[in-house]
Homo-oligomer: A and B are copies of this chain.
Amino acid sequence: MSSDVGLFEAMYTARAIRRFKPDPVPDALILEVIEAGTMAPSAANGQPWAFVVVRDADSKRFIQQRYAVTFHAAYASGRTQIDQAPSGSQARLMTAASYLADHLADVPVLLFCCVERYGARRPGREHEPRHDSIFPAVQNILLACRGLGLGACLTTLHALHETEIHERLGIPAAYASPAMIPIGFPRDRHGPIRRRPAAEVTHWERW
């Protein structure tokens, strides 16, 4: 609770940070952002989450080797989903995302945000993560990083290598890790976020 950045200032400037200084992140700061994550809601307040903090160089290389392959296969091939963003920021995003994919092992912390799978609760969807009980916490973590002067961004491509990565990190089969958050002190700058106007994506009473 050491920060008093304004809520709206944090939300409006918490840019995705994809380039980091090499400086290590103190354990206390990591716990602080995770604690902020746990203040988020979860279904019936079940808190079915867990967090794995990866700083070990070998583990980070293991993850990067898999993440980078998937990134370049998915994006460099042109199968990009970035076509809705303004063109200048689209190019910058691609450059930074590509840099991140190739330098994951150099990021001080890779935070795996884990959540239980539905299991018997949802016949036919047993294996699926309880997304609604982890992504609100993920957003709190991203905002907490912004508030504490850390950089962070939301990534999900590691999930395509879930079996190998979970085995490496000892994550139990009952859990998925729908989000991985690289964290460190930022080389990129936080700053104003540009999005499509709210009025364009808002419908009153009916779509």
Contacts and interface: CB of A to CB of B under 8 A. Distances in A.
B11 A140 contact: yes
Interface stretch (A99-107, A182-190, A197-205): A197-205
A203 B8 contact: no
A150 interface: no
A75 to B, nearest CB: 8
A54 B205 contact: yes
A8 B1 contact: yes
Given A38-B195, A198-B35, A201-B50, A1 B5 contact: no
Interface core residue of A39, A50, A80, A144 (most chain B CB under 10 Å):
A39
Interface string A159-201: 0000000000111100000110000000000000101111101
Nearest to A206: B170
Contacts of A128: 128
A65 interface: no
A51 B201 contact: yes
Contact of A205 (B35, B59, B193): B59
A121 B79 CA distance: 9
Contact of A154 (B90, B132, B140): B132
Contact of A132 (B12, B49, B131, B195): B131
A52 B207 contact: yes
9 contacts: A3-B8, A5-B6, A34-B198, A35-B197, A47-B85, A51-B203, A131-B135, A136-B142, A143-B143
Interface of A: 1-12, 14, 16, 30-31, 34-41, 43-56, 59, 75, 80-82, 84-85, 89-90, 93, 97, 114, 121, 128, 131-132, 134-140, 142-144, 146-147, 153-154, 156, 169-172, 178-179, 193, 195-199, 201-207
Given A43-B81, A136-B142, 20 more contacts: A1-B9, A2-B8, A5-B6, A6-B7, A7-B146, A31-B198, A34-B202, A37-B198, A38-B201, A44-B80, A46-B81, A46-B82, A46-B85, A48-B84, A53-B203, A53-B205, A128-B128, A134-B135, A139-B139, A170-B206
